[in-house]
Structure 1
Amino acid sequence: MAVAERKPTIELNMAELRAVTGYAVACAEPALVLFERARPDDRRPHIAIEAARRFAEGAARTKKLRDGAWAAQRAYQQARDQGRLAAGEAARAAVAAAGAAFLHPLAKATQVLHILGSAAHAAYAFELDAGDPDAGIAYLEQTRKLATATVVDVLARYPIAPSGRGRMGALARTLDTALRQP
């Protein structure tokens, strides 16, 4: 029986939370080019990723980090409403990177998206941009290689990624499965 099945909470220290956030930043950042190409004057996703990076590097988890995530969420909504779906998913990757700093030590499958959400949204953005599902899968392979032993160890404490959430959810589950394999 996995730890997550026996205990309602999971041990998670600040160094591990910073490592997860650093991974999320590394996964989300390459997709920024897709957002910036579509909306060159909108820096909100970039600001969210920078706030997450600062936290990963040792800064406090402040309101600025949460505000950056909310602003990137609004950037996603505007890109989506303009029909710029790849840009929207790139912005959602930035939201997820900032959200990684708020991973909770709760034994719930939904928490896995704090760990893998930025990678899944970025992969989906690349897939939409290329018009080819193989582009998303190829990006997931890159993000798999970015995962440190600490990130994989933290992930293993949680239940598997939840079902649903469309293509992004399927990409998150694919990455989850890949990272949990020895």
Structure 2
Amino acid sequence: MYKKYSREDQKALATWAANCAERVLTLFEKTVPSDNRPRKAIEQCREWVGTGIFSMAVIRSASLSAHAAAREAPIEAARYAARAAGQAVATAHVPQHAFGAAYYALKAMAAADSANAKANVAREWEWEAGQVPENLRDEVLKRVVIQPTKKGISIKIDKSGDF
């Protein structure tokens, strides 16, 4: 069986995903200050990276809890920020979830200030792309696709090929 990412790559992607999610976490926490589920998901992601101890029940619960927080959040930017956290922790299970964390962080930035979405997303993407480990950068640049549209900006994950 072909394995696309090594365990070291997966941990590097998880760290990157947690960093991406953490950068937009304040968009959630300012909106719903009493809800710590997305923060706990990021913490759980970092714990897995640090210890290497994997419990599917723990990872799944942290991810689903962050996504539940997203569904309950009253504004779009907060929902995307919580989803970024849910995707970050899920990277412990499937490395490709890291792309989801970056994607949702970018969506959060766009939603937080729609009048300046293009500039804010460009700045955030520059940071995200600069933080990913060198050996994974080409894959990330290929998978996270940002394009201007008539209405603003489009952010997608390219899942074609050997995703």
Q: After TM superposition, list the pairs within 5 Å mapping 1:67-82 onto structure 2.
A: 67-79=61-73, 82=74
Amino acid at match of 2:39: H
TM-score, structure 2 normalization: 0.80
| TM-score normalised by L of structure 1 | 0.72
Q: Could you give the per-residue CA deviations for residues 7-36 of structure 1, whole angstroms, max 9, x where no partner exists?
A: x73343221211111110111101110000
Aligned residues: 149
Which structure has the highest helix share of the two?
1
Whichever structure has more strand as a proportion of its residues is 2
Structure 2 gap segments, 5+ residues each:
none
Which runs of 5 or more structure 1 residues have no equivalent in the other structure? 1-7, 105-110, 177-182
Deviations 1:88-147 (A, max 9, x none): 00001001101111226xxxxxx4xx2321111111111111123221222111101101
1:116 paired to 2:116: no
Higher relative contact order (CA 8 A, sep 6+): 1
Separation in 1 of the partners of 2:144 and 2:131?
A: 22
Query: Who is 1:146 aligned against?
Result: 131
Structure 1 runs, 4 residues or longer, greater than 2 Å off: 8-13, 150-153, 160-163, 170-174
Write the distance in 1 (CA, Å) between the matches of 2:10 and 2:135. Answer: 9
Distance in 1 (CA, whole Å) between partners of 2:4 and 2:143 is: 18
Q: 1:127 aligns with which of 86, 91, 110?
A: 110
Q: How many Å separate the matches in 2 of 1:121 and 1:31?
A: 9
For the aligned residues, what is the CA RMSD? 2.7
Question: Percent of pairs identical after alignment?
Answer: 26
